[in-house]
């Protein structure tokens, strides 16, 4: 049996696992800063400390008669390539949190907690810290606890300087307050479009091809009409509509015991991958269509450039990109103006962009 001295690794000698590309000590050193970074995301329901085998959250059952847990998992796609090129990593975490929040907010759910996964070849402390800061900032803004995650160092798996992110969110909604457009949307309802900040987290494979291959631009290039560089415009943070949607439901639907066709707010749709064409039908009855009218909102300059310079057929653009509309609300016609004014009062740009008509459960852009 070897002696203690034989088991001890000399300080001057690099550990074998670190030499192979996985530095456990560095990982532990970096993660030691997590409690401070995550303090702003704390909720009273969170139990235990950061770093356990599992995150603990005590759901307050007194607040609900029939609580329904709502979960979603996602990534930010090849928007990461822009972050790598710009060496800017403090917004990408917020993109992921906000995207996930929006996905459950359309059901009327309040976000409870979020967990992240970060995979990389070599752990760079400043990059890790910037990413976590983005997670923490967005979680705090959405009143969502960041209760755990995983950081995997996988040497040789990722290209140098690159990483991947994914996140899981869990929220809750009262069963009677859960939105179900397939049961509530009816002919004659109107569609309100709420402005996006840019591409959000979808369409980047095509967007990068257009800007960097087709138009021969660089992330640092400046283009007339854009406030910042191309890279800065492509890194604009995905808007969280969660607080807005909660406020809308409280203002217009709270007096109804059960969500039904008489409620002013019928449905929400997050315009993500699939654009208008694939996302809106997810909340429609099979016998109704939504008609979206082009030109009914102020299109952001970046989409104007894509539309005029890319050569991509317009019909495909509205299936790939959000084209300046990140969220839509389907509302009763008699309350549309009131809902629109409320959204604008919350400092979001919004427009009446379409209507519900007889059809086959499709979304048409005309």
**Best CA proximity match to 153, nearest among 323, 2, 31:** 31
Task: Give residue 283's pLDDT.
Answer: 97
Task: Give residue 12's pLDDT.
Answer: 46
Give me the helices (H) in 39-160, please: 79-86, 92-105, 125-141
Location of structure tokens 């103006």: 337
User: Can you tell me the distance from the alpha carbon of 140 to that of 134, in angstroms, rounded to the nearest whole number?
Assistant: 10
Are residue 336 and residue 211 in the same domain, yes or no?
Answer: yes
> DSSP letters of 297-344?
S---HHHHHHHHHS---HHHHHHHS-TTEEEEEEE-GGGHHHHHHHHH
> DSSP letters of 116-128?
EEEEESS--HHHH
Is 75:119 a contact under the CB 8 Å cutoff? no
Task: Please list, in sequence order, all residues whose beta carbon lies within 8 angstroms of the beta carbon of residue 32, skipping any fewer than 6 positions away.
Answer: none
Are residue 185 and residue 331 in the same domain, yes or no?
Answer: yes
Are residue 171 and residue 187 in the same domain, yes or no?
Answer: no
**Best CA proximity match to 96, nearest among 157, 149, 58, 36:** 149
- As a dihedral over the C-alpha atoms of residue 195, residue 240, residue 184, residue 283, rounded to 10 degrees, the angle is 80
> Which bin fits 49, alpha (ψ -120 to 50), beta or left (φ > 0)?
beta
Are residue 281 and residue 343 in the same domain, yes or no?
Answer: yes
Total structural domains within the chain: 2
Are residue 188 and residue 276 in the same domain, yes or no?
Answer: yes
**Best CA proximity match to 191, nearest among 315, 21, 92, 330:** 330
For residue 55 the two structure tokens come to 């995150």
Residue finishing a domain among 176, 202, 226: 176
Q: Would strands 288-292 and 350-358 be described as parallel, antiparallel, or unpaired?
A: antiparallel
**To 5 degrees, how large is the angle CA 297–CA 290–CA 313?**
65
For residue 228 the two structure tokens come to 């910042």
DSSP letter, residue 138: H
Is 70:107 a contact under the CB 8 Å cutoff? yes
* CATH code for position 359: 3.90.650.10
CA distances from 316 to 43, 165, 230, 326, 335 (A): 43, 27, 22, 17, 32
* CA atoms in the 13 A half-sphere facing the CB of 321: 29
Are residue 81 and residue 211 in the same domain, yes or no?
Answer: no
Would 82 be classed as within a structural domain?
Answer: yes
Write out the residue range of the structural domain in which residue 134 sits.
15-176
Would 145 be classed as within a structural domain?
Answer: yes
Residue finishing a domain among 114, 142, 176: 176
Q: What residue ranges of the chain have pLDDT lower than 70?
A: 1-14, 17-22, 24, 26-33
Are residue 154 and residue 188 in the same domain, yes or no?
Answer: no
Are residue 247 and residue 161 in the same domain, yes or no?
Answer: no
User: Can you tell me the distance from the alpha carbon of 243 to that of 111, in angstroms, rounded to the nearest whole number?
Assistant: 10
Would 4 be classed as within a structural domain?
Answer: no
Q: How many CB atoms sit inside 10 A of residue 304's CB?
A: 14
User: Can you tell me the distance from the alpha carbon of 302 to that of 142, in angstroms, rounded to the nearest whole number?
Assistant: 27
What are residue 152's phi and psi, to 5 degrees?
-110, 125
Are residue 312 and residue 271 in the same domain, yes or no?
Answer: yes
Mind listing the pLDDT tens digit for each residue in 248-298? 999 999 999 899 999 999 999 999 999 999 999 999 999 999 999 999 999
Residue finishing a domain among 154, 176, 198: 176
Would 207 be classed as within a structural domain?
Answer: yes
Task: Give residue 7's pLDDT.
Answer: 41
User: Can you tell me the distance from the alpha carbon of 14 to that of 4, in angstroms, rounded to the nearest whole number?
Assistant: 18
User: Can you tell me the distance from the alpha carbon of 327 to that of 279, in angstroms, rounded to the nearest whole number?
Assistant: 10
């Amino acid at each position: 049996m070897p002696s203690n001295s034989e088991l001890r690794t000399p300080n001057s000698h690099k550990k074998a696992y670190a030499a192979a590309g996985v530095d456990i000590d560095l990982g532990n050193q970096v993660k030691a800063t997590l409690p401070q970074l995550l303090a702003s995301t704390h909720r009273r329901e969170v139990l235990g400390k950061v770093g356990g085998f599992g995150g603990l959250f005590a759901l307050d059952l007194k607040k609900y008669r029939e609580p329904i847990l709502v979960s979603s998992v996602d990534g930010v796609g090849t928007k990461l390539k822009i972050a790598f090129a710009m060496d800017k990593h403090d917004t990408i975490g917020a993109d992921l949190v906000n995207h996930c929040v929006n996905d459950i907010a359309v059901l009327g759910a309040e976000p409870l907690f979020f967990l992240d996964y970060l995979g990389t070849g070599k752990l760079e402390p400043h990059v890790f810290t910037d990413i976590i800061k983005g997670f923490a900032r967005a979680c705090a803004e959405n009143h969502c606890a960041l209760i755990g995650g995983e950081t995997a160092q996988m040497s040789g798996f990722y290209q140098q300087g690159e990483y991947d992110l994914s996140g899981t969110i869990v929220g809750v909604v009262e069963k009677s307050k859960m939105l179900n457009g397939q049961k509530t949307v009816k002919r004659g309802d109107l569609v309100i479009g709420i402005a996006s900040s840019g591409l959000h987290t979808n369409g980047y494979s095509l967007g990068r091809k257009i800007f960097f291959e087709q138009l021969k631009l660089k992330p640092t290039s400046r283009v007339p009409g854009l406030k910042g560089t191309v890279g800065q415009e492509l890194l604009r943070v995905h808007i969280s509509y969660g607080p807005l949607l909660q406020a809308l439901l409280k203002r217009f639907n709270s007096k109804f015991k059960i969500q039904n066709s008489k409620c002013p707010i019928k449905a929400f749709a997050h315009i993500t991958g699939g654009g208008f064409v694939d996302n809106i039908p997810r909340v429609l009855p099979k016998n109704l269509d939504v008609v979206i009218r082009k030109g009914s909102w102020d299109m952001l300059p970046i989409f104007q450039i894509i539309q005029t310079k890319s050569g991509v057929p317009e019909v495909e653009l509205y299936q790939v990109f959000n084209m300046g509309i990140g969220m839509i609300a389907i509302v009763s016609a008699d309350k549309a103006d009131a809902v629109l004014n409320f959204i604008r009062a919350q400092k979001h740009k919004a427009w009446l962009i379409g209507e519900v008509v007889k059809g086959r459960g499709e979304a048409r852009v005309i």
